[in-house]
A and B are shown apart, each in its own frame.
Chain A
């Protein structure tokens, strides 16, 4: 007998109590379930602040604000950009790793667009304004299938690690691992291929749901429950994050 009912209950309670905030590797996070960190006008998000440092991703124009709902994703809270012109902007990169320093970006999303929409849709990007100087996590369509992709600028061009194994349609946990010399994108624990690229990330701004350039573009459409930026995680820590976000998303 492996465990008594009491032991299972204790295990479940311990698992339920896990928070990314308990990980020292967490640099910061936008968490749609931490309502004190979201400012609303009606259901429209005027500002979404990170949990540790309060980096405020803002939107002044009413029509460009994403919406928040308590039951947007798997019956849980989520922020929903419309895919046309909604985005949030933080004019800086805070403590997020720049230059060639490694990081991980984790997200729980419900990607709703069909593969017939072939526009790249950005979930998060930070750094410079162009693809050669920023770190960019996005949804793309390759060979007719929704995929998770990162764009990692190296100062003159960029590398584009793409997870070619998992269809990014619907609810998924995305993990982007940016290393000093290689990067990859995992989806629901399925590892993508490593791509060789040496990051050279700038410091201009951070933008959720649209590209960092002067004119926002590549608008994300879907629901976002969580985005976190971490220093590299250990394997047990990554397993905790994966289980935590999968449980939130109801992902087997």
Chain B
């Protein structure tokens, strides 16, 4: 079975709604957003409030990834995923490096970890 690596980026305001919507849409693959993100500039600290949240989903069945993409495009009955940004890769072997690239493309980065 073909699987993909899918990264998901959501605004802080829609985080909980997207988690719930994905749990309802694909209960076999749920998402927990636990990595806070913020703007690349000004230089953030670990206390910078998140504007977005990022998730890395490995080994996602192609059917599940397609269901997420359809929902993002508004093809499904649930519009909660509107605005969710998806990044896909065949095999993202360095997930943290890939994440940095994905976030930079949106002018974002991870909020630094607490020192």
Contacts and interface: CB of A to CB of B under 8 A. Distances in A.
A82 B34 contact: no
Interface in B17-57: 28-32, 34-36, 54-57
Contacts of B95: 82-84, 221
B59 A42 contact: yes
Contacts of B96: 82-84, 113, 117, 219, 221
B109 to A, nearest CB: 12
B81 interface: no
Interface in A128-143: none
A130 to B, nearest CB: 9
A167 B94 CA distance: 20
Nearest to A43: B59
A44 B32 contact: no
Q: Is the interface of B mostly helix, strand, loop or mixed?
A: mixed
Contacts of B71: none
Q: Is the interface of A mostly helix, strand, loop or mixed?
A: loop
B113 A85 contact: no
B58 interface: yes
Given A83-B96, A84-B95, A120-B113, A64 B34 contact: yes
Nearest to A120: B113
Contacts of A119: 113
A219 B54 CA distance: 14
A215 B29 CA distance: 21
Contact of A217 (B55, B57, B99, B114): B114
Interface in A202-217: 211, 213, 215-217
Contacts of A211: 113-114
A134 to B, nearest CB: 13
A218 interface: yes
A213 B32 contact: no
B56 A61 contact: no
Contacts of B8: 63
Contact of B56 (A44, A85, A218): A85
B113 A63 contact: no
Interface string A76-94: 0000001111100000000
Contacts of A95: none
A60 interface: yes
Given A83-B95, A119-B113, A218-B113, A63 B36 contact: no
A67 interface: yes
A62 interface: yes
Contacts of A112: 94
B114 A63 contact: no
A174 B32 CA distance: 31
Contact of A62 (B31, B54, B113): B31
25 contacts: A42-B59, A44-B59, A60-B30, A61-B30, A61-B31, A62-B30, A62-B31, A63-B8, A63-B29, A63-B57, A64-B34, A64-B55, A67-B58, A67-B59, A82-B95, A82-B96, A83-B95, A83-B96, A84-B55, A84-B96, A84-B99, A117-B96, A211-B114, A216-B34, A219-B96
Interface of A: 42-44, 60-64, 67, 82-86, 112-113, 117, 119-120, 211, 213, 215-219, 221
What 3 pairs across the A-B complex have the smallest Cβ distances? A61-B32, A82-B95, A63-B57
